[in-house]
Amino acid sequence: MEALILFAALVVGAAIYFLPSIVAQKRKHRQQTAITVLNLLLGWTFLGWVAAMVWAFGEVKPNTDRQCPFCAEDIRLEAIKCRHCGADLSATTAT
């Protein structure tokens, strides 16, 4: 029984420790990897954990890219010609 309580405490503790990383992932933050690294390396200090949490809740800019339907490379939403394959995108709709 004590082992089960210890395991539950470790799981809850890990979830609290990595909460900034979880928040960044759920919000699809562009700097998710950097937030996770900061959380992993400096989360043990209260200041590092708070910094990662504030960063995770920071502004998330909307995605301005889409994939080219011909070559699957990332291009801007406004693009009318793919810079990778040269395909004409003016007939396709921006998704």
Q: Which two tokens stand for residue 34?
A: 């950097």
Task: Give pLDDT tens digits for 30-79.
Answer: 899 999 999 999 999 999 999 999 999 998 777 778 889 999 888 888 88
Neighbours of 83 (CB within 10 A): 11
User: How many Å is the Cα radius of gyration of the chain?
Assistant: 20
For residue 74, what is the enclosing H or E element?
strand 74-76
Q: Residue 81 pLDDT > 60, yes or no?
A: yes
Residue 93 is predicted with a pLDDT of 55
Q: Residue 22 pLDDT > 90, yes or no?
A: yes
Identify the residue with better confidence: 59 or 94. 59
- Which pTM was predicted? 0.64
- Collect all residues with Cβ–Cβ distance below 8 Å to 90 and sequence separation of at least 6: 80, 81
Cα separations in angstroms, 58 against 3, 37, 51, 53, 89? 38, 16, 11, 9, 34
